[in-house]
Homo-oligomer: A and B are copies of this chain.
Amino acid sequence: MGSAIADVAARAGVSKATASRALSGKGYVAEVTRQRVVQAAKEIGFVASPNAASLVTGHTKNIGVVIPFINRWFFGEILEGVEEALLNRGYDMTLYNIHPGSADRDRVFDFFLARKRFDGVIVIGVEPTPEETARLLRLDIPLVSVGAPVADVRSLTIDDEVAGRLATEHLIGLGHRRILHMGGTVTGEGDTSVHGRRMRGYVSAMTQAGLEREMSFAQTEMSVPGGYDAGAHELSNSSSRPTAVFAACDEIAIGVIIAARRLGLAVPGDLSLVGIDGHEYAEMFSLTTIEQQPRAQGQSAVTDLLAAVSGESLAADVVDVPARLVVRASTTFAQLSADAV
């Protein structure tokens, strides 16, 4: 418990410095000495205090992660990937959950992240303001963004506009014309937000196909209940009902499916549906999905971040993983998948 490296040194009959070298593996130590030190450490259950170490080395072996939701599938998936990658490399993950519009946001950026406690920061699905970005960069530690492109910051994202276009073109290719788009807010940060970009893809695909007049949009919270509410509303009128829906994320899509079934509509059949983001729920409900492989992304983000921590240069400032259209063959839910769109 209260054991310090001095205790280990005393017990092994060496100096603190030698004990430190033996335990950390840095610097020359005779093999016999090393073993004696290691043995002594084990005997008294010594584990080095990273706080004391970081005070002198400047490295904390701790990464700060900022995320808007923990309990939403997409974010949870990334989080699990990030945590695993970090743990494998001996890093701690300190998590900050900033709900959109929360007052905590300032405290996290101005106080919690500013305290030299982290070797790096990962922001997931959060677009820091220019001021926030500047503040973080001033800390002089690597900063990585996942899921949202941030100016001056190494970002790992899909090309949301391409994804939106592909999704829409897929539905157009199936012969649909009345294609409703459901997603976040229309107004506001429409140009730079994730949803804004996806919507641009929708608009461009519809326009290119000469379907400007068929475009319609329903604003929705990016969640299952959001999709349900909007779906229940948009699909209730059988004459004005769209034949296809492009949902800005899978959680919306799942909500729409529930609403559609509630109304006695077959999906697919009476309604075709495409969502962006997921794959597991998508499998479960046999959606056709545009996948961005969130887990792999999370891991890449970590890999890159750690590369940055150790001083390696980064090849590019922004990586755009092209969205890919993937129709998943489910195993567990094979019978559900048979009737995929």
Q: Chain B contacts of A107 at CB under 8 A?
A: 87
Select the residue from A54, A77, A115 with max chain B CB neighbours within 10 A: A115
The size class of the interface chain A forms with chain B is: 35 or more
Q: Chain B contacts of A93 at CB under 8 A?
A: 94-95
Decide: B228 and A47 in contact? CB cutoff 8 A.
Answer: no
> If A95-B83, A284-B224, A332-B228 touch, does A60 touch B51 (CB 8 Å cutoff)?
yes
> If A94-B93, A284-B258 touch, does A76 touch B87 (CB 8 Å cutoff)?
no
A97-B87 Cα distance, complex, nearest whole Å: 9
Q: Chain B contacts of A225 at CB under 8 A?
A: 284, 332-333
A97-B80 Cα distance, complex, nearest whole Å: 7
A217 within 8 A of B: no
**What are 11 sample pairs from A and B whose C-beta atoms fall under 8 A apart?**
A47-B116, A48-B115, A49-B117, A70-B76, A70-B83, A80-B97, A87-B97, A94-B95, A95-B95, A225-B332, A228-B284
User: Which 5 A-B pairs rank lowest in CB-CB distance, beginning with the nearest?
Assistant: A71-B76, A47-B114, A51-B51, A83-B97, A49-B116
> Which A residues lie at the B interface, using CB under 8 A?
1, 45, 47-52, 54-55, 60, 62, 69-73, 76-77, 79-80, 83-84, 87, 92-97, 104, 107-108, 111-112, 114-117, 138-140, 224-225, 228-229, 258, 261-262, 284, 332-333, 335-336
